[in-house]
Amino acid sequence: MVDLFTTPPAGKKMARAKALLKRDDTVRALESLLAGIDEFDPRQMSSKARYEVEALITECVADLNRQPVVRSLFEKLTKSSKASIPYAPGQEQKLRGILGILHKALNESAANAQQDEQDERLQRKNSLQQKGLESLKAGDLPRGKASLRILAEEFGQEPGLLVQIAEWMLEYKIYFEAAEILEQAIESFPKDSKAYGLAAQCYRTIRELEKAETVYLKAIQRFGKHPRTLLNLAKLYVEWNKKDKAFETAFEAWKKDETLTEAKEIADKYG
């Protein structure tokens, strides 16, 4: 076992690289190993310390050679199925060059894999969107709703997408599902004011007036008592036949913005 209190700095980095390799954290292990080699100066060490560091390097190289991802890349680079990373004490700089190439190749491979994943994800997103909209346009509402709901579940973390999906649904009078999507948008993106207005209007359309009121009150809590929001809430209370609340809310809207003649008309009617 390595004594980290007596091991020289280069050896500590080798020991860390060995620990990272056990966790299959290959790129960080290589970075630690490269840093350790840069600090390794046998001329300034006792023979015991030098031997300890060389032994750690040997162990790290052996661990690297056993890793499938390293073997695959190294074999591809050398065009040999029997290739392995060579090391002998005293050849640290030669090893550093090999490890540097391997590190670069692993980073490029990871970047390519990430790009492939992003491309595949975008293709999946576009496919669901296209299927959903084409189905709605063709009158196949169940299939269209299903595709758009999957789109919301898989990609709903993207800003603005949930509201867009709800708008597509509303074009085809799919109110209940649109309301659910908009509630999800409000929860995930509470600063998106458009989601509140659409959700409240959606609930008013399907006569879920209590839910519409809840949405308006959430918007007021989040964005403040905007005159237009107060007016819409007052109009909701008119639909709900809550005359006192209609008056109070409309009057407050008009006092904040006296250009809102509709708010004054409601206040005058129920005051």
- Residues 200-247 have pLDDT tens digits of 999 999 999 999 999 999 999 999 999 999 999 999 999 999 999 999
Q: What are the pLDDT digits (tens) for 132-174?
A: 999 999 999 999 999 999 999 999 999 999 999 999 999 999 9
What is the average pLDDT score of the chain?
90
Residue-wise pLDDT tens digits, 167-181: 999 999 999 999 999
Q: Which pLDDT does position 216 carry in this prediction?
A: 96
Instruction: Look at residue 69 and tell me whether its pLDDT is greater than 60.
Output: yes
pLDDT at 146: 95
- What integer pLDDT is reported at residue 82 of this predicted model? 75
Given this model, what pLDDT does residue 3 score? Answer: 44
pLDDT for position 151? 96
Q: What is the pLDDT of residue 160?
A: 95
Distance CA 168, CA 183 (A): 15
pLDDT at 7: 59
Residue 2 confidence (pLDDT): 43
Domains of the chain and CATH, by start? 9-113 (no CATH), 157-224 (1.25.40.10), 225-271 (no CATH)
